[in-house]
């Protein structure tokens, strides 16, 4: 585990879109209600059913939000990367967590207390708008997922996922590559596929010459050709 350098919480919070534009004294009050959380790979941050006392911001690392079905299968809801926040909606509903959170890599998070956020919301309506905006984007993403699961085949979902990852890195054209952010099982679950189905489709796309799989790295000889198969 890395040596623990003291973290400048204030500097980190100013980079979060949610808190942009807050005055120094407003930010100071949020900082006062914020604590650092360090997690090693595999650590559980909270379990389903735990009380929610605030929301988290991911400074670095990678966090998985998931739940276990009655059959005992794990379903990954979201894979969070640095700079993302999670838990705001549950905090507002004042309900216990409906998922569990686990670190996929060594991670550093900030936990912003509900009390600090609620006090600030009463003082500053702009923060309410920003938080609503951030939750609306999240809802929109989840709705797109649901649509994708119901309307697209597994193959189309995987191609769509690869194209989105490429777009994030601003890669286009020929001979580009996507490095999967985490293991294939987690990504399969995120796309509502079994690991076997996921592997079978990767094999099929390889046979078609659309991708070349090298561990977690997926080479795409031609983005245009891949796009044609998106459905």
Q: Does residue 21 sit in the same domain as residue 119?
A: yes
Q: What digits encode the pLDDT tens for the residues 86-101?
A: 998 899 898 999 999 9
Q: What digits encode the pLDDT tens for the residues 135-159?
A: 888 888 888 888 877 888 999 999 9
Asked if residue 67 lies in contact with residue 75, where contact means CB atoms within 8 angstroms, the answer is yes
Asked if residue 169 lies in contact with residue 181, where contact means CB atoms within 8 angstroms, the answer is no
Q: Does residue 145 sit in the same domain as residue 168?
A: no
Q: What digits encode the pLDDT tens for the residues 184-227?
A: 899 999 998 999 999 999 999 999 999 999 998 999 999 999 99
The CATH number for 166's domain is 1.10.10.10
Q: CA of 118: how far to CAs of 36, 146, 154, in Å? A: 19, 31, 42
Does residue 81 have a pLDDT over 70?
yes
Q: What is the mean pLDDT of residues 54-70?
A: 93
Asked if residue 89 lies in contact with residue 97, where contact means CB atoms within 8 angstroms, the answer is no
Please state, in angstroms and rounded to a whole number, the distance separating the CA atoms of residues 205 and 211.
Answer: 6
Burial (Cβ within 10 Å: 0-12, 13-18, ≥19) of residue 108: buried
Q: Does residue 123 sit in the same domain as residue 223?
A: no
Please identify, among 90, 119, 151, the residue that sits at the C-terminal boundary of a domain. 151
Does residue 52 have a pLDDT over 80?
yes
What is the structure's pLDDT at 43? 98
* Max Cα distance, the chain (Å): 59
First to last CA, the chain: 44
Q: Count how many Cα atoms sit within 13 Å of the Cα of residue 69 in the half-sphere of its side chain.
A: 8
Q: What digits encode the pLDDT tens for the residues 117-139?
A: 999 889 888 888 888 887 888 88
Please state, in angstroms and rounded to a whole number, the distance separating the CA atoms of residues 201 and 203.
Answer: 5
Q: Does residue 16 sit in the same domain as residue 128?
A: yes
What is the structure's pLDDT at 10? 87
Instruction: Compute the C-alpha angle 7/128/58, nearest 5°.
Output: 30
Provide the domain limits for residue 170.
154-228
The number of distinct structural domains making up the chain is 2
Asked if residue 176 lies in contact with residue 168, where contact means CB atoms within 8 angstroms, the answer is no
Q: Tell me the pLDDT band of 173, cut-offs 50, 70 and 90.
A: confident
DSSP element (H, E) containing 127: helix 125-151
Three-state DSSP class for residue 117:
helix
Does residue 2 have a pLDDT over 70?
no
Q: Tell me the pLDDT band of 4, cut-offs 50, 70 and 90.
A: low
């Amino acid at each position: 585990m890395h040596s623990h350098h003291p973290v400048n919480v204030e500097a980190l919070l100013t980079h979060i879109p949610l808190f942009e534009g807050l005055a120094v004294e407003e930010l100071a009050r949020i900082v006062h209600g914020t604590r650092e959380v360090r997690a090693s790979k595999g650590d559980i941050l909270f379990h389903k059913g735990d009380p929610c006392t605030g929301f988290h911001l991911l400074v670095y690392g990678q966090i998985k939000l998931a739940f276990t079905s009655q059959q005992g299968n794990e379903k990954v809801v979201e894979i969070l990367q640095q700079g993302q926040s999670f838990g705001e909606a549950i905090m507002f509903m004042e309900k216990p967590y409906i998922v569990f959170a686990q670190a996929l890599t060594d991670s550093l998070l900030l936990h912003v207390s509900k009390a600090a956020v609620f006090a600030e919301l009463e003082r500053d309506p702009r923060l309410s708008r920003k938080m609503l905006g951030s939750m609306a984007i999240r809802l929109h993403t989840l709705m797109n997922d649901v649509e994708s699961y119901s309307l697209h085949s597994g193959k189309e979902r995987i191609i769509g996922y690869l194209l989105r990852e490429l777009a994030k890195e601003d890669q286009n054209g020929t001979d580009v590559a996507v490095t999967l952010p985490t293991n294939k099982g987690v990504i399969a679950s995120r796309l509502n596929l079994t690991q076997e189905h996921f592997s079978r489709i990767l094999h099929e796309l390889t046979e078609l010459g659309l991708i070349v799989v090298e561990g977690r790295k997926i080479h795409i000889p031609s983005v245009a050709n891949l796009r044609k198969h998106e459905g």
